[in-house]
Amino acid sequence: MPNKLTLPEKLRAVPLMVALVPMAAGIVAGSMVDVPLYVWVVVAVVCALTGWFAMRRGRAFFSYFYVGLTVLFFGAALARAHTPRPVVPHGERVWMEIVLTDPPVAREGRRGASSYGAVTRWQPDATSPAADGWRTVREHLLVSIDTMWRLEAGDRVTFRGYVNPVGDSSTGYSRLMRARGYSGRTYITQYSRPEKSPQRAKSPAMLARNLQSAATERLRRLGGGSSDAIAVAAAMTTGDRSGITPALRRNYSRTGASHLLAVSGLHVGIVFLIINALLYLLPFIRGGHIAKNILAVAVIWFYAALTGGSPSAVRAAFMFTGAQLALAASQTRGPANIMCGTAVVMLAVRPGLLFDISFQLSFVAVVAIMAWFAPLYNLVVSRWRMLNALWATLLVGFVASVATMPLVSHTFGVFSPAGVVLNPLVICTAYLTVGCSLLWIAAPVPFLQPLFRWLVGGPAWLQNRVVEMVSAVPGAAIEWRMPLWMVFAVYAAMIIFTAWMAMATADKHTREDIFILPR
């Protein structure tokens, strides 16, 4: 019988989880405290040297303490270094050339469409732009476009206009946009004198957009582009939400299921589980274990490209690449350690992700599934594999819903009790819809079109009907914004519960299988 592991021993088994906490705290400090970058760097270097000297003298506690401070100040320095700084003059009329990085999307109740763009060059206001007056820049902006202008992702547009702040700097939306790297907002109207260049932007992102358009078009062939079911299938599989009606969007929002209509960690997770299930027998041949993990990671990233390379899909691809590596290394290292390492790398590259709600939801959901899934699954496991698979699917939805509910309530001001019951059910239909949609996209055999119209549209139609019925139930959605202190209190309670559960089952595990996903 292996010895029972103490909590410090468990923490030493996941050092990157311990490093993630001070790094996140440092990013928050660097974003809130207006201190020059060099100050953070100097303090981080001093702490690193102090920790090194403490280690040389055998003072382990002080060395660990100063290493934690080093990581904290390093995170603060990263946050300051990545803070978007305006380059194009704000509040002044100028000429700009901007490349649209996302397809314009019409918003309900608003005139025009919204998109994102990167300013490539600008020059001061004049009657017409001078050929030799352009100044090369790289600044990311939110773009509002008048409905009379038909623009697409990749279009290069020259126009005359203003760059304004995203909004009140105290609002959550403004902070979120700045965290994502957008320093302002501009408008393209009939008075902007826009001229679209015949030369479209070429980049990996544009190639991903073209791939997304081709995949969406294949799905629309199944229903002629007019069916709500096919529109939902396209939104869930490729991220194209142009076919979603306002009524359908409201139903999903009221029931807490709107996350299904935006490709995120859930959808990439479905692909992750499907590809691992399809390659289940591959490790039984020589070298199959390595081949399985390489193929799984390749499919995950191809799917991220299929969704147009949306930021949420790319972040989820990073997450599940880490999960795949965790499964590959499950004999010697804990998946929680590798997942936290993935988060550390992502935050080092883009510290603003810490304030991005999609990153927060994806990370919280994945960590909760890794921590709670196995103990809860083992409570009801049976001899019947089909029942076990159904229970596992429902459990994933339940765990993800409970773990993300405080964040959803605080960020969006909606508390959906119905979502805890509904989400596990619609995840079952999501598996069928996304899986069959990807199969049709990969092999659109003409004579199988009627069959796939039923395989793709049937689960999506059922999902729409269930969401519609639940949204009509009184109390399905409550407008309530959970206070921030309560969010921290709830997650603190979840962490304490998880630690207690891990300690209670510690005698069943050895150092090699801490935090391992069930195989």
Question: Average of pLDDT values for 149-177?
Answer: 78
Q: What letter would DSSP give residue 425?
A: H
For tokens 């939306």, name the residue: 173
Contacts of 321 (CB under 8 A, 6+ apart): 297, 300, 301, 342
d(CA 467, CA 253): 10
Q: How far is CA 446 from the centre of its chain?
A: 34
Residue 412's alpha-carbon distances to 274, 292, 316, 409, in angstroms, are 31, 39, 21, 6
At residue 227 the predicted structure's pLDDT band, cuts being 50, 70 and 90, is confident
What single-letter DSSP state applies at residue 282? G
Helix, strand, coil: what percent of the chain each, to 5?
Answer: 65, 10, 25
* Single-letter residue type at 196: K
Region 346-355: mean pLDDT is: 84
**In what helix (H) or strand (E) does residue 8 lie, and over which residues does it extend?**
helix 7-13
Residue pLDDT, tens place only, 186-219: 998 878 888 888 877 677 777 888 888 888 888 8
How many Å apart are CA 336 and CA 14, to the nearest integer? 7
Which pLDDT score, from 0 to 100, does residue 212 have? 87
Q: In which band, very low, low, confident or very high, does the pLDDT at 339 lie, cut at 50, 70 and 90? A: confident
> Which residue type is seen at 393?
T
Query: Residue 115: phi, psi to the nearest 5?
Result: -150, -175
pLDDT in tens, 388-422: 777 777 787 788 888 888 888 887 777 777 777 78
Structure tokens at 30: 């660097």
Supply the mean pLDDT for the chain: 80
Q: Is the separation of the CB atoms in 300 and 272 below 8 Å?
A: yes
Asked if pLDDT for residue 433 goes beyond 50, the answer is yes
For 442-496, what is each residue's pLDDT tens digit?
A: 888 888 888 988 999 889 999 999 888 888 887 777 778 888 889 989 999 988 8
What is the C-alpha to C-alpha distance for residues 52 and 54, in angstroms, rounded to an integer? 5
pLDDT at 172 over 70: no
Q: Tell me the pLDDT band of 513, cut-offs 50, 70 and 90.
A: very low
Indicate the class that CATH gives domain 94-201.
mainly beta
Q: Which residue has the tokens 């001061």?
A: 124
Please give the pLDDT value at position 41: 92
Per DSSP, 421 falls in state H
The b-or-e profile of 495-506 (16+ CB within 10 A means b, else e) is eeeeeeebeeeb
pLDDT tens sequence across 103-149: 777 765 566 778 888 898 998 887 777 777 888 888 889 898 887 77
Query: 478 - beta bridge partners?
Result: 415
Tens of pLDDT, residue by residue over 231-244, are 889 888 988 887 88
- Taking the C-alpha atoms of residue 47 and residue 49, their distance in angstroms, rounded to an integer, is 5
Kindly report the three-state secondary structure assignment for every residue of 438-451: HHHHHCCCHHHHHH
